[in-house]
Structure 1
Amino acid sequence: MPLFVVTMLASLLVTLGAPQRASAAVTDYRPATYNMQGGDGKWTADIVQIINHGYNVIALQEAGPRPPGSARLEWTSPYLTGNDQWNGWRVQEWLWRPQGQAADWHIYFVRTDFGGNRVNLAILTRYDANQVHIARPAFYGNNGLPTSRPALGITIGNTLFYTVHALATGGNDGAQLVRNIAGQAGSRIWAAMGDFNRDPSTLQIERGMHKYVTNEPTQQSGGELDYMVTNQRIPGYGAAAIGYGSDHYAVMFDVLRANAGVSLYNAHDGNRNIEVESRNATTYGSSIVVRSRQAGTWGHFLFVPAGNGNYTIRVNQRPPGTKQQCLDAVDSRLRRYPCDGTDGQLFDMQYWDDTGQLRIRSVRRNTCLGDDTDNGYGSEIVTTLSCSKGEGRFNFRFDRDPDGSAAAVAF
């Protein structure tokens, strides 16, 4: 029987036992988030696929009325106490053996939908959490009852993970809910994942917090709503969105890896992507330019380790029988030439102070790539930019889910 410890007012804290591991970093795990649009058969279809991609801490929203039918109820916490006007939340732990898994996984589940019993919160993980938390919701009515949802959290080792589902009417509770999570976590590393129901650029966070996003829509309607906020600054961290059976895409978080194809977006110029100007495979020396906000065929690249912490940036697209092309800083404009291993094709990936953004330094020139104009579509990328200038910021977008076993791009 687990030991229950309930804190007053702000949160429910359930102590379950000794930590499974002593680490304290988001990157010690492979987190993901998914709005399941009601759960049901998605547990045995979509969730199993996410697990098979190697993700092991999965924040779930709209998780349905209960975990999958084959799950076994392990324990139920006491009701949240300390607030005389609300005692409706209690956390359950279920054990579930997903198809193809050799051991049980843990589902931490809280009912937040007392009407339709569909829009509930859960966290699925292969780790046995040593604490469970309920972070106080942002809004209460005059009667003292909550008018927004709380967040469900767990502690694994010394890292706290939360699942968040902000209000569907624009997510105006998200910023306060994140502050409540931060207050509950104190000095510990925490990450809040979920459906914030607003674009990440409009979610106001405090100093020391960071957003990690896909830089692309996470819902079929086109909005980018699902992402992570954490108090850990993680160089080269990003997310990939993958569609399954819900109206939201599953969003999977990882560091930039050498095997993961990416598209690059100029943060200074409306987040337009960069790509090869001339599509003719025999046109060596083609400029690399800023184009639209969606990467075209010639706007996908691969970071390939070249030793000493440097990388070549290869153009993914090439017709059969043609040489592999690399980005080249041989002159003041970034161009495409056959890969030759010279220092003009070597780049050092650096982390910009803004969350999730890169600056790319030319080893040959000791300057950075960037856009020194405001001309928009068709602007060429220069190789001579001072690395301290904001025009040298790039967002990246994964072309596919990165393989967690591949080497991380070093910063």
Structure 2
Amino acid sequence: MQISRTGRWGRWFPLALVAALAVSFAGVVVVVTDQPAQAALRGRRVITYNLQGSRSGRDNKWTTTIGRYYADADVVAVQEAGPDSPALAYGTRLTRYQGRQLANGGAGLPQVGHANEVAYTRWRTGRNRNSAHVYFLQTDPRGGRYVGGRNNLAIVTHEPAVAVAAVANRRTRTHRNARATLGVLLNDGNWYFNVHATGAADDGRGLLRDIAAFVRGRNRGEHWVALGDYNQEPDQLQTPAGARIYNTGRATHQAGRELDYAVNSTDEGPLPTRRLPGATADHYGAFIGTVQLPEPPVEVFSSLQAIESMDAGGVLDAKEHGTSNGTPIVSYKRTGKDNQSWLVQQFSDMSMTFRGQESGRCIDITNSDRNPGPGRSLSLWKCTGKASQRWRPIYLDEHGEYELRSQLRPDLCMNVRGEQHDPTDAKRLILYKCENTRNERWIFTPAYKPSTATVLPTPPYRWMDQESMSLETLNSGAVMDVLGERTGNNSAVGVYHRTGGTNQGWDLGWRWSAKFGGLIVTLSGLGSHRCLDVPGGARVVSGMILVIHNCSSETSQTWLVIQEDNETVNLLNAQNPNLCLDVAGKPTTPNRGRLIVFHCNGQANQSWIFTPLDPD
């Protein structure tokens, strides 16, 4: 039964106590008045969701889940949001606000790492949509460092906030995992807070008490709503006087408990609530607000995608550039052609369709009207949005990969038939029972297009939180590989198709460089424990081959990572930043090519993406 009851008991400049104030915010002028706010939930659509972290190198859980929620709601509160904000929209930069730039002055926040600041970014969630506004607060202590981790908070909105607050948790002094709350004031005069309580008896109650006191102390007639994961059933939570809980009445955690809901500062009467379809975490999202109309499918990514198999690194390919109904879908080596480029669209039930750039047709189950079962092939067909063309992405936490389950047959997954040991040998795509095998694991990667501009001088923090990753060239889809699985000093490094071997895994060691004014990285081999190196020490010139060598402080082992506007990165050697990590000779076959440093030229053989390592 749904519970609705009344309780018992940044960097934005502080708003002056005036009748009206114009605040310039990221190029937008917002007028704030002291007039009483409208009701926070009536007229708004809000979603709260525990994402359970975002560990993939290209923020896929943000893109495949939060992007869809953003299309359906005005405000999305994300708990366990991952190590940092999602990828920046092109032409925008991350801004951090702290102290007096926060509406509450940041009082009581830990003065370490990023715990005392709110990060503001713009995030583009699809090719043709306006970029979202993302506010991010570091609440994961990470051993007292307050950098990275998964237990952080984010709020995503369609409009810029008028003000931002980070309300400290009084229990932080005695409970290291106690988390602050993040709030944004929108132009309707209401505060929207994100809460992730620990579940301790007094934690949720204390957070709500302090939120209410903060808003009341501003004396502006503002209301508030606190969305979140309370780790407590709604009938166990004490709320401030006059507040009302809005919940779905259904379990929002897969263990069977209802933990995710909203607490509103006023009783607005009955409002629609709905538990959202399961997505990629152990929680279900909770929707509260005005009636939600059926939404059309939205574009998930800001670019066309190549959908890559973790079996050998092949990508979904319309065989031999076929464009007609019935063209087989195969897994084949990356070529960069349009028959491997897919427009990914997502429905409100979280299922996806894959529309071919070259054909304009969608991946479908062949003869789907004839009782399809295990072994049925996949092919192109005219896009209709029917169940046989829709695939549900199931996130596999251990590596940041996905199963793609059929909407028509949820017990069956997209599968590379018979496994694939070499991506140059095309293999048919079929339906098969979901077994979490390598030939059923997929990642979303950008379909290559030439870069036209540099986006960031340093990589986003999300890569800093990874354990071991692989580095893939978009020239052929091969990954960086210590050839022959050797581990000794001066072992040659080249590229090879994906095998999951430890000689293709790299531990990323990030540090700040005053010289470059940004982050640099070393790459230590997972199997060798030696670092990618340009032999020659201080003299690094174009054409030098790369090897692994004992890790040291030599700058020839460090790389400046430059993000490009095509979602790839270039790696510039710190000893000679005019030289980039390069696959010699631009081979189009995955198993060929030594790695060298070469004059940076923006070609595909210098374009790289960080991808998961799947050692199984």
Query: % of aligned pairs identical?
Result: 30
**What corresponds to 1:92 in structure 2?**
119
Summarize the alignment of residues 363-382 of structure 1 with structure 2, pairs less than 5 Å apart.
Answer: none
Corresponding residue for residue 159 of structure 1: 190
Q: Which residue of 2 aligns with 1:128?
A: 160
Q: Secondary structure at the residue paired with 1:161?
A: strand
Question: Which residue does the alignment assign to 2:49?
Answer: 34
Partner of 1:398: none
Question: How far apart, in 1, do the equivalents of 2:159 and 2:50 lie?
Answer: 21
Q: 1:3 to 1:224 in 2, by over 3 A?
A: closer
Distance 1:90 1:28, change over 3 A: same
8 Å CA contact 1:98–1:105 kept in 2: the answer is yes
Which residue number corresponds to residue 235 of structure 1?
Answer: 269
Aligned mates of 1:51, 1:166 — CA distance in 2: 23
CA gap of 1:198–1:3, structure 2 versus 1, over 3 A, is closer
Matched, 1:106 2:133: yes
Secondary structure at 2:164's aligned position in 1?
strand
Describe how 1:22-101 pairs up with structure 2 within 5 A.
24-26=38-40, 27-39=42-54, 40-52=59-71, 54-71=72-89, 72-79=92-99, 83=108, 86=111, 88-99=115-126, 101=128
Could you say if the C-alpha distance between residues 146 and 134 of structure 1 is closer, same or farther in structure 2, counting changes exceeding 3 Å? farther
Distance in 1 between residues matched to 2:87 and 2:12, nearest whole Å = 27
1:183-208 CA distances to partner (integer Å, 9 max, x unpaired)? Answer: 11114110000000000000011321
Task: Find the residue that maps to 2:173 and give its secondary structure.
Answer: coil
Tell me which amino acid in the other structure corresponds to 2:129.
A
1:162 alignment partner, SS class: strand
Q: What secondary structure sits across from 1:51 in the alignment?
A: helix
Aligned residue for 1:185, secondary structure, equals helix
Provide TM-score, normalisation by structure 2.
0.37
Q: Is the 8 A contact 1:20 1:128 kept in 2?
A: no
CA distance in 1, matches of 2:266, 2:206: 19
- Taking the TM superposition and a 5 Å limit, the aligned residue runs for 1:258-277 are none
Cα separation, 2, equivalents of 1:84 and 1:190 = 21
How far 1:92 sits from its partner (Å)? 0.7
One-letter code aligned to 1:148: A
Q: Using the TM superposition, give the Cα deviation of residue 41 of structure 1 relative to its aligned residue in structure 2, in angstroms.
A: 1.7
Partner of 2:93: helix, strand, or coil?
strand
How far the C-alpha of 1:257 sits from its partner, in A, is 7.8
Specify the SS of the correspondent of 1:182.
helix
**Distance change in 2, residues 1:256/1:44 (3 Å):** closer
Q: Is the 8 A contact 1:138 1:149 kept in 2?
A: no
Q: 1:83 to 1:191 in 2, by over 3 A?
A: closer
Structure 2 residue matching 1:118: 3-state secondary structure: coil
Counterparts in 2 of 1:69 and 1:200: CA distance versus 1, 3 Å: same
How much is the aligned-residue C-alpha RMSD, in angstroms?
3.1
Unpaired runs of at least 5, structure 2: 1-9, 17-22, 100-104, 143-147, 295-616
Separation in 2, partners of 1:48, 1:24:
27
Q: Which residue of 2 aligns with 1:199?
A: 233
Do 1:65 and 1:117's aligned partners in 2 also have CA atoms closer than 8 Å? yes
Q: Secondary structure at the match of 1:235?
A: coil
Match of 2:179? Answer: 149
- Partners of 2:66 and 2:106 in 1: CA distance: 33
**Residues 331-350 of structure 1: matches in 2 within 5 Å?**
none
Q: Looking at CA atoms only, which structure, 1 or 2, has the larger radius of gyration? A: 2
TM-score (norm 1): 0.55
Aligned residues: 249
| SS of aligned partner of 1:183 | helix
User: Which of the numbers 212, 218, 226 marks the counterpart of 2:260?
Assistant: 226
C-alpha contact (below 8 Å) 1:166/1:174 kept by paired residues: yes
Shift of 1:67: 1.8
